[in-house]
A and B are shown apart, each in its own frame.
Chain A
Amino acid sequence: MFMPTTTKNFILTREGLSQLKGEYEELVKVKRPAIANRIQRAREFGDLSENSEYDAAKEEQSLLEARIVQLEQVLAKTEIIEPVKKADFVVIGSTVVIEMNDEIHDFTIVGSMEADPASKKISNEAPVGKAVLGLQVGETIEVAVGPVKSKIKVLEIK
């Protein structure tokens, strides 16, 4: 799980920065007042100890506030990376095809805030992200995290 600290910069593309700013604006200007209204309405239902709508809304509010704090920390320490042209070696922003334990994986390496496995975006801080940065096509490297060990070969850099 990503845990922001105040001592490091957060690597983002311009697109990623714009998305995070958009998310922040929406959370602060739309969702925060909406959840406050929900809590107020739920209070009016009566006994808070038996009020499941109130409990659900309070839980949602706590998650929302945590995300707002996280985004504020990230937006204050952003380092923008420009889109990469095809490079001879893997950099942040490269889309790579690798062989890992007889399987073929393809993904784009991004800063940790933009990591999104559903869109095949893997963090530069993930073990495989760290391991392939700087490698060229054809190079291999071994990676181990606890019980998981794997030989990785870079097949293509897009």
Chain B
Amino acid sequence: MNVPIVTFPVKILNLTSSEKKVLKKLVDAAKAIAHIYQKQENPHFPGANFYPHDATKEEILEAAQNNPSILSPYTMVERNGKGRLIAIPYHLIFKKELEKASSYLREAAEITQNKDFAHRLELQANALLDGSYEASDIYWITMKPYKIDIVIGPIDRLDDRLLFKKASYEAWVGVIDEEKTKKAKIIQHAIYDVRRKVISSSAKADFLDKTTLRVDKTLIFSGLFARGMFTSNSLPVDPLLMEKYGIEITFFDSSLDFKFGKQHLPIFERIFEKRFKKEYTKECLREGSFRNVLLHEIGHSLLRYKDSESRLKEFFPVIDELSATIYGIKSCGSLVLKGIMSERELEAIMIMFVCRAFTWWIDSQTQKSVEAFAIGHALAFNHFLANGALKESGGISWPNFSKMFLGIEELSDALERLISVGTYNDAKAFIENYGSFMVYSKFSSRLKGMTGV
């Protein structure tokens, strides 16, 4: 597979020469971890290369009872000479590559004139070499936001489809877009300001007052992020850390530009009826696409339960990702009634939800790390076809927005119940009954030539 690095041609004004030098070093650091990710990824095995390919789930769980580090997010599992499973920390096994990445971070720390950011880079460099990720993450989340940002290290666990435990190496570097950040915060606060009924208050993680949000012009993706081409991220992933220190939500506008131009808009052009399409401008649809991402992350921050992951296990990512998106779109109802969002803008969000569903399905055919998103969106898509929100004839559709929004409200209630109090078997049955990709095949003739189809 090709080296997982994607650079974006972004134009950033108002940077000093020292800031430009810092950015160059950070981009080099991001590039340095791409080869680590290549050693971890393997789409042919549900446990990628995190575990020996002949090890079963049962064997791993049994070995972990005596050696919990086997299930640590930050260890590779191998067999020793006697054939027993052992865990080796990432920072030891990938030492050579990590020393290179760390040295770039330290060089950037020496150049930057922002002392907080310099300290953050030093902590991050240390974390890569000794595994002290939590100290680095806490400083990052609690420091005063700075215009330049980098996230680098083992973070998301989407590649471990066997147990959803192991973190993949990834990195991004960006510069904040102040104007877009300001606009995004208006919607974020309008949704946060509402008091909601909580299904399981004892397990709810509450950290809304400690949430930082930024829209970045992204310069580079490396590792898992380059493979998944994600458009947003929310960190940290541990609900206990979230509650104590808050979260930082980042939107990657450059990645969204790419996905909108290459996938969302072409899909819109191919699957919707000609007269229907005329009603929506490209700008309106681009904003609808961004708002899907924004609402998804806002939804995540409102639906964090400390025990969801332990209850739902490997089904957690599907339910977690879909519930966030659907809950976010449902929240737009009150924004429309309050005049914060127009009816047309809400329609564009729903249209782009459908186009994004196709995107996840197409991407999942070559990139297993996005499968949770693809299955989740298929659940919603099946629901829309069943309730008549989306009718299809020869691969062409004309959506009924009233039925679609009703479907979103119904789905949101069901998903919120699953994420807050649902059992493993509830989630399993929900996904097995409604998560079929067959729904997309009705449209596949219209999508010929797009990646993976």
A residues apposed to B, CB below 8 Å: 1, 52-53, 56, 100-107, 115, 117-118, 120, 122-123, 125-129, 131, 143, 145-148, 150
Contacts and interface: CB of A to CB of B under 8 A. Distances in A.
B51 interface: no
Contacts of B193: 105-106, 120
26 contacts: A56-B13, A101-B333, A101-B334, A102-B197, A103-B196, A103-B334, A105-B193, A105-B195, A106-B193, A107-B338, A117-B189, A117-B340, A118-B185, A118-B186, A118-B190, A123-B339, A126-B338, A126-B340, A131-B337, A145-B336, A146-B346, A146-B347, A147-B401, A147-B406, A148-B336, A150-B334
Given A56-B13, A150-B333, A104 B338 contact: no
A100 B334 CA distance: 8
B338 A122 contact: yes
A56 B179 CA distance: 13
A53 B195 contact: no
B337 A148 contact: yes
A126 B340 CA distance: 8
B90 to A, nearest CB: 42
Contacts of A53: 13
Contacts of B194: 103-105
A69 to B, nearest CB: 21
Given A56-B13, A103-B196, A143 B186 contact: no
A143 B405 contact: no
Contacts of B338: 105, 107, 117, 122, 126-129
A122 B406 contact: no
A148 B196 CA distance: 18
A30 B405 CA distance: 47
A130 to B, nearest CB: 9
A125 B340 CA distance: 11
B343 interface: yes
Choose among A53, A106, A146 the residue with the greatest number of B CB atoms under 10 Å from its CB. Answer: A146
B339 A146 contact: no
A115 B402 contact: no
A117 B347 contact: no
Nearest to A131: B337
B11 interface: yes
B445 interface: no
B339 A147 contact: no
Contacts of A104: 194-196
Nearest to B400: A147
Given A146-B347, A147-B401, A150-B334, 12 more contacts: A101-B334, A104-B195, A105-B334, A115-B339, A118-B189, A125-B339, A127-B337, A145-B336, A146-B343, A147-B346, A147-B404, A148-B346
Nearest to B403: A147
Given A146-B401, A147-B402, A128 B337 contact: yes
Interface residues of B, number: 28
A101 B330 CA distance: 11
Contacts of A145: 336-337, 343
Contacts of A125: 339
Nearest to A123: B339
B342 interface: yes
What are the nearest 5 A-B pairs in CB distance? A126-B339, A147-B405, A146-B343, A104-B195, A147-B401
A1 B334 CA distance: 16
A104 B186 CA distance: 18
A148 B339 contact: no
A133 to B, nearest CB: 13
Interface in B348-398: none
Contacts of A105: 193-195, 334, 338
A125 B196 CA distance: 25
Interface in B307-348: 332-334, 336-340, 342-343, 346-347
Contact of B190 (A56, A117, A131, A147): A117
Contact of B186 (A101, A117, A146): A117
Contacts of A106: 193
Contacts of B347: 146-147
Choose among B185, B193, B342 the residue with the greatest number of A CB atoms under 10 Å from its CB. Answer: B193
Interface string B56-94: 000000000000000000000000000000000000000
A101 B408 CA distance: 14
Contacts of B197: 102-103
A143 B334 CA distance: 11
Contacts of B196: 102-104
A53 B14 CA distance: 9
Nearest to B350: A147
Contacts of B333: 101, 148, 150
Contacts of A146: 336, 343, 346-347, 401-402
Contacts of B337: 100, 126-128, 131, 143, 145, 148, 150
B405 A148 contact: yes
Nearest to A124: B339
Contact of B339 (A56, A103, A129, A150): A129
A123 B340 CA distance: 9
B315 to A, nearest CB: 26
A1 B186 contact: no
A148 to B, nearest CB: 4
B112 to A, nearest CB: 24
B336 A127 contact: yes
B133 to A, nearest CB: 34
